[in-house]
Structure 1
Amino acid sequence: MKYDVILFDADDTLFDYGMAEGQAFLNVFTHFGLPAGAEEYAASYQEINRALWADLEAGQITSAALRVERFNRLFVRHNLEYNPEEFSEAYLRFLGEGTFLIQGAAELCGALEGCRLAIITNGIKDVQLSRIKGSPLAETFEQIIISEEAGYQKPAAGIFDYAFDKLGISDKSRVLIVGDSLTSDIRGGVNYGIDTCWFNPLGKTNGAGVEPTYEIRELAELLDIVK
């Protein structure tokens, strides 16, 4: 077996974040009495949220600030009179219920017998733990490495140092990181000196200036790489 340790990104790699996010967005607007808002404000929210997550990766905002600021900006843009802290708290509760998996995720993890599997995510701790523990993959991972606990976000080397320490490993040649994000998962892995696998189901063009070791369209393809 070529790799003993597989570090999986969570969102949009094993877990269907888009589905979880869409359901939570609908639920929170319904909860606050404006169910049509989920569709009406989705595009604005996505734009704001993407920009803030880029700021998080660059170390320009904290995770705690991001979770409220995205709604603050949304409400200012559309003149909505909701409390962003209360709205964020409710949204995160709903998001934590989104345990949807990417097609083939459960089968892949089950087939990786003999490998040590771990999650490495920039997601929000309480949300990620809730989603993972409520999913069919609840007992799959030896460690769940979350940026809030590590004190660093991917692609920073610090989160990989934290992961290696938690897993008690030092041989980088036996470790593979698998993720959908070129800027966090792949760039982080390349900079840290471990092999990388870009999960690219939509066949996006790589314009990030970083080259993964492998590229796959379906999760099942990872088995041939690992074994």
Structure 2
Amino acid sequence: MKHYRFLLLDADGTLLDFDQDMLHAFQATFETCFARQRPYAPELLDTYERCNDRWWKKLERGECEKSQLFTGRFRDFLAETGLSGDPEQINETYFKNLGQGGALLPGALELVRDLSEQYELYIVTNGNAATQKTRLERSGLLNYVNSYFVSEDAGAAKPDVRYFDYVFSRIPGFAKEEALLIGDSLTSDMLGAQNAGIDAVWYCPQGGEVPEGLSIPYRAGSFGEIRRLLLQQP
């Protein structure tokens, strides 16, 4: 592996356990906004995730704005479940609850701590700025990274090259040839790295195939493999 100076680390699904944070946030939001209308059931989370994923895909394709995503996912959720409420108010409640998260994937903090001894680390994440800030603070990751960049602050989201231009312009001494992005998403992280002209490691603990037209220099199925790539550990 070539020498890198800057590591750009995705947050959700790579370091943060978004599924756990989302579950707790959704359940708390349901209790506040919908408990008087019907009892909670697991399939309601499935419906929300489907609506949420659909809107994030739209955002990644440049088909909507972030504000439309935040309310659109709950508007669709209400339509599909027959529940009633104000999508904007529900979204505000959800973000408040999500901000109480910050759960880490097992071994993530130790990995970031060890990487910080050899590299400059920057977290690159899509999402709501205030929510991501509190989750990152609660996780302990900010003790080991140089800085972090949230798509809402940038005015664009991964994989949009404008997001990466925003990031690159704020890293002192940045050089693309010395940068490596590590992330789990093919559509935001890997495509974003390709769009921005930097190398990437696809973190893929579940495996998977790389789509045609997407070039990924490295892949790792575990934090142990990332260590072997970047820390020369056996």
Q: TM-score, normalised by structure 2?
A: 0.91
Matches within 5 A, 1:113-128: 113-128=117-132
> Quick check: 1:143–1:166 contact (8 Å CA) kept in 2?
no
d(CA) in 1 for partners of 2:41, 2:199: 39
Worse-superposed segment, 35-44 or 179-188: 35-44
Corresponding position of 2:207: 203
Match among 164, 167, 170 for residue 166 of structure 1: 170
Instruction: Provide the rounded CA distance (Å) in 1 between the counterparts of 2:123 and 2:212.
Output: 23
Task: State yes or no: 1:108 paired with 2:121.
Answer: no
Provide closer, same or farther for how the CA distance between residues 88 and 38 of structure 1 changes in structure 2, counting only shifts above 3 A: farther
Unaligned runs of 5+ residues in structure 2 are: none
Shift, 1:103, TM fit:
1.4
Superimposed CA distance per residue, residues 106-148 of structure 1 (whole angstroms, 9 cap, x where no aligned partner): 1101111121100111111111001001112132221211111
- The offset of 1:53, in angstroms, is 0.2
Q: Select between 9-18 and 182-191 the one with higher mean Cα deviation.
A: 182-191
Q: Which position in structure 2 is the counterpart of 1:136?
A: 140
Deviations 1:182-206 (A, max 9, x none): 1111111122221100010111233
Percent of counterpart pairs with the same letter?
A: 33
User: d(CA) in 2 for partners of 1:97 and 1:153?
Assistant: 23
Deviation at 1:210, TM superposition (A): 1.1
Tell me whether 1:22 sits opposite 2:23 in the alignment.
Answer: yes
* Partner SS, residue 167 of structure 1: coil
Which residue number corresponds to residue 43 of structure 1? 46
Q: Give the stretch that moved more between structures: 87-96 or 139-148.
A: 139-148
**Moved segments of 4+, more than 6 Å:** none
Letter in 2 for 1:156: D
Q: CA 1:154–1:88 in 2, change beyond 3 Å: closer, same or farther? A: same
2:219 maps to what in 1?
215
